[in-house]
Structure 1
Amino acid sequence: GPDCAQPYSMSLLNVSAMSFGALSPNAVRALNRGAEMGGFAHDTGEGSISPYHLENNGDLIWEVGSGYFGTRTDEGLFDPDQFADQSSRDQVKCVSLKLSQGAKPGIGGVLPAAKVNAEIARTRGVPEGEKCVSPAAHTAFSTPTELIEFIARMRELSGGKPAGFKLCVGSRIDVLAICKAIRDVGTAPDFIIVDGSEGGTGAAPLEFEDHMGTPLTDGLLTVHNALVGTGLRDRIRIGASGKVAAGNDIVKRLAQGADYTNSARAMMMAVGCIQAQICHTGLCPVGVTTQDPKRQRALHVGDKSERVKNYQEATVDQAVKIMASMGVSDPQQLRPEFLQRNIARNEHRSYAELYEWLKPGELLAQAPESWAQDWARADSGTFQRA
């Protein structure tokens, strides 16, 4: 965006947010080394920047959640001095604020006490051997206006690096309230990552994982149209995460309004995940989600980092080939009419026909009837309450 002093060129596919603590040291090493080899970005997740993120010099997106791990006071509040120190690292290319996560919108992350060893406690700034729970809400801000001001502060403290936020859309009214706040404050996030409810995690109640949050398609269309309708789309990049795995997933999300994509699940499989679904126990048999030094040895960093690099390279290559076969020479040329959906046995429609697409500034001039009520209810001074 125009207020960013240190722009970053983002790949079409990057490593999505996964924290050290949830992942083993070797998994973090392999992901970051793969990112460095392939020239794409590695999101740290909300568990702070560990020594293992720094060993191989891969580009980092530093995610800060409601627990402010790695930048927190003893009382658990945001510490600007720590943030400035951490974000000033050359390896940190962007700073990202986590509002919510697709697999568990409405609640914070949990790291079981058994996994909080001395190293994780030191990295996060929390007590050793105690369950590490992120609060459901942030303490550094409480309104859309304060959110935008806080993101601007993050950008300033980082020396002008791109700053943005991640959310799983829960309410179109809240998205519109954030858009109004951006216009009121006069500065915008450099990016917004839309996380779909399809996103996975080893640390969420099944009811939340299966039934809460907006699917990625609907979330993307909501955020993209809200930014277009308020005249902000050209200032803000949109990332998409939530079950992105193959080249066609990348193309689909770009056609739906995203500028780039992030993948977590497929990247975990690249480093050896077999979906044993015992992440929380520390007994991962392939060394991906364990803090047991003996079990970690099952993950060979040199081999798995090559697999991460090769997976990302091949997937982006497939996406580019798909776009080329559609007559597209630049991802920005993708349009909703290129994406088709079968709606009956003998009938299909394009996304241009199936969904409403706002025109630039349309909400500011005259909100269409389908958006008018939510636009009127959106308030930059408050998030929606039931």
Structure 2
Amino acid sequence: MARWAIYFVCLLLDVSVAASLYRGYLSGWILLPLAVGLTVLALYDRLQRKHALLRNYPLLGRARYMLEQIRPEMRQYFFESDTDGRPFNRRQRAVVYQRAKDVKQTVAFGALENMYEPGYEWAAHTAFPLKVKPESLRVTIGNTQCRQPYDASLLNISAMSYGALSKTAVLSLNGGALLGHFAHNTGEGGISPYHLENGGDLIWQIGTGYFGCRDEHGNFSPEVYTAAVAAPSVKMVELKLSQGAKPGKGGVLPAAKNTPEIAAIRKVKPGISVLSPAGHTAFSNEYEMLVFLQQLRDLSGGKPVGFKLCVGRKDEFERICQAMINTGIYPDFITVDGAEGGTGAAPLEFTDSIGMPLYDALAFVANMLKQYKLKEHIRIMASGKIITGFDIMKVLALGADACYSARGMMLALGCIQALQCDSGSCPVGVATQDPSLYQGVNVEDKRVRVANFHRNTIYALAELMGACGYAAADKINPAAMYRRVTRTDIRSYEEIYAPDNGRSNGVALYPGQTVNN
């Protein structure tokens, strides 16, 4: 109701001025410019196509941009919640906006003020920097069991479903992927027409609900899957075991977002809340999972397949590695999702207390694959609050080959972190199925911003690598990445995450952690 209140205010003001002029009051002539100005400005905001917030909230949305003109980071304090506690969270978000808008990306008042606080991280540079070409920062995903390898960017769009996001948001993200030559993960909600319209590269994520490839009973359907995966835009297939924000819990599509169109795409009933099961019905153990992955690869014509997980029990992942050796079935990639990942549909306890953080999980998975001599077959994708070029550099140092970003892409798209993702009332039209809100997203403008963010972030990564003397992404050394553990104790990533820091039957553990055999 608040978004329409401004029209009533303008109308009331116009009527009052007209009445004053009719009666010959001087106040009518005084208020006339104000009434006309506000009315014209409100209409302009509603009709313009560049800013979704202004289009959806005429006049009211201008407060955000006024504060931005005063100080670029001030909008963070008024409009964006700092929920993760990272000391440079707001600063990173400001960088996203600058890169998406393709504007100046410098800071006038020097470095961070928390350099002597625990948690601060940095990379060691070289006195003899190199020139790294941004276009070279790509990786081929697909082992010898794959017949259609994919040449992937080091930065891609993380899994966000149509249903959670609006159709205009999906169109904008996929359009940006097409412009920037990077991949767009569909999320577990299936492949929608809006994923296919632009022709941007897709990574089709298949979750426990098998949306887009299920039969009338909700089980996996090889026939439906085969028809959908044949789309030229589908470059890889990702089997979702668990999600960092809510590992061990299935996805949720609220009834308000389950429109007839979305229900048809997911092959469910419209107008009801759709709750995905916590686990898969197509398999029940690591051996059956690998056989299922091979089935997905065969039915796709040999496209790269992999699985996504938030690491929980380390012995389970070790058993998966052993099953790979025993069966000879190797996924083309594994996506490691950190527990710090976000979602609009997770209970607080799951978000805060379940799952392993990204850096610990990534180092463990990379060490485990190397120990079992599986790394030559498998690429590692990393996901979990990756926003800047330095974030990418850190996960590459810990063993990742490429990564996803959800938050960065959302901010580039226009998200202001209003925290209304599950309510259907996203003020900028990104996470809603309300036509009056999502029509505010100008796809032609936003897809360029998404592509800008990707291009400028990859460029920043290339510059960082060059400054540190790394000619290629696989040369980044964890020994050159540092973290202040206490105010007086500094340790390198190699010291913190080294594979020989405590072992139990070959399993890399946390530093200092031991297990009795």
- Using the size of structure 2 for normalisation, the TM-score is 0.70
| 1:253–1:206 Cα change, 3 Å | same
Q: Which amino acid aligns with 2:377?
A: R
- The aligned residue for residue 332 of structure 2 is 190
Q: Which amino acid aligns with 2:247?
A: P
Q: Which has the larger radius of gyration?
A: 2
The residue correspondences of 1:171-250 to structure 2 (distance < 5 A) are 171-250=313-392
Residue 494 of structure 2: aligned partner? 352
* Residues 1:75 and 2:217 are matched in the alignment: yes
Deviation at 1:369, TM superposition (A): 6.6
Residues 248-298 of structure 1: CA deviation (Å, up to 9, x unaligned):
000000001100010011111111111111111111110001111111111
SS at match of 1:62: strand
Matched, 1:155 2:155: no
CA contact (8 A) 1:282 1:291 kept: yes
Superposed displacement of residue 356, structure 1: 2.6
Report the CA distance shift for 1:369/1:215 in structure 2 as closer, same or farther (over 3 A): closer
Q: Deviations over 1:158-211 (max 9, x none)?
A: 000000000000011111011011111111000000000110000111111111
Q: Which residue of 2 aligns with 1:276?
A: 418
Verify: 1:342 aligned to 2:484, yes or no: yes
Deviations along 1:37-58, one digit per CA (max 9) or x if unpaired, are 0000000000000000011000
Aligned to 2:130: none
1:306 and 1:330 map into 2 onto residues whose CA distance is 27
Aligned partner of 1:371: which letter?
Answer: S
Say whether the 8 Å CA contact 2:360–2:497 is kept in structure 1. no
Cα deviation 1:81-109 (Å, max 9, x = unaligned): 11111111110000010000000001000
Q: Secondary structure at the match of 1:177?
A: helix
- Aligned equivalents of 1:349 and 1:270: distance in 2? 33
Contact 1:199 1:242 in 2 (8 A): yes
5+ residue gaps, structure 1, are 359-367, 376-386
The answer to whether structure 1 residue 298 and structure 2 residue 440 are counterparts is: yes
Moved over 4 A (4+): none
Q: What residue ranges of structure 2 are gaps of 5+ in the alignment?
A: 1-142, 509-517
- 5 Å-filtered alignment, 1:307-386, equals 307-357=449-499, 370-372=503-505
- Is 1:59 aligned to 2:187, yes or no? no
Q: Alpha carbons of 1:373 and 1:246: their partners in 2 closer, same or farther (altered >3 Å)? A: closer
Say yes or no: does 1:24 pair with 2:157. no
Matched, 1:137 2:276: no
Q: State the 1:344 CA deviation.
A: 2.9
Cα offset for 1:374?
5.8
Asked if 1:258 corresponds to 2:391, the answer is: no
**1:84-163 correspondence to structure 2 within 5 Å:** 84-163=226-305
* 1:328 aligned partner, one-letter code: Y
Question: What corresponds to 2:127 in structure 1?
Answer: none
1:113·1:131 contact (CA, 8 Å) conserved in 2? Answer: yes
Does the CA-based 8 Å contact 1:30-1:302 persist in structure 2? Answer: yes
Task: Provide the residue aligned with 1:8 in structure 2.
Answer: 150
- 1:288 lines up with 2:430 in the alignment: yes
| SS across alignment from 2:302 | coil
AA of the residue aligned to 1:372 = N
Does the aligned pair in 2 maintain the 1:42–1:58 contact within 8 Å?
yes
Q: Post-superposition shift, 1:119?
A: 0.3
* Separation in 2, partners of 1:99, 1:355: 25
Partner amino acid, structure 2, of 1:287: G
Q: Which residue in 1 is equivalent to 2:47?
A: none
Q: 1:369 to 1:13 in 2, by over 3 A?
A: closer
- Measure, in 2, the Cα distance between the counterparts of 1:148 and 1:373: 22
CA contact (8 A) 1:50 1:123 kept: yes
Secondary structure of the corresponding residue to residue 165 of structure 1: strand
Q: How does 1:34-53 map to 2 (within 5 A)?
A: 34-53=176-195
Q: Secondary structure at the match of 2:503?
A: helix
Q: Aligned pair count?
A: 366
Give the SS at the match of 1:289. coil
Q: In structure 2, what is the Cα distance between the partners aligned to 1:325 and 1:374? A: 34
Taking the aligned partners of 2:507 and 2:486, their CA distance within structure 1 comes to 31
Shift of 1:343: 2.3
Contact 2:368–2:507 (8 Å) recurs in 1: no
Q: Is the 8 A contact 1:48 1:69 kept in 2?
A: yes
Distance in 1 separating the partners of 2:429 and 2:249 = 27
Q: CA RMSD in A?
A: 1.2
Question: Is 1:285–1:298's contact at 8 Å kept on the other side of the alignment?
Answer: no
Deviations 1:346-378, CA, capped at 9 Å, x for gaps: 3312122223326xxxxxxxxx97121869xxx
The one-letter code matched in structure 2 to 1:284 is C
TM-score, structure 1 as length reference: 0.93
Q: Percent identity among equivalent residues?
A: 52
In structure 1, distance between residues paired with 2:156 and 2:507: 33
Q: Secondary structure at the match of 2:292?
A: helix
- Assess if the C-alpha contact under 8 Å between 2:209 and 2:218 holds in 1: yes
Tell me the distance in 2 between the aligned counterparts of 1:313 and 1:210: 33
Q: 1:112–1:131: 8 Å Cα contact kept in structure 2?
A: yes
Whole-angstrom distance in 1 between the partners of 2:465 and 2:284? 42
Contact kept, 8 Å, 2:344 with 2:421, in 1: the verdict is yes
Query: Counterparts of 1:3 and 1:317 in 2: how far apart (Å)?
Result: 33
- Structure 1 stretch 329-338 or stretch 36-45: which is displaced more? 329-338
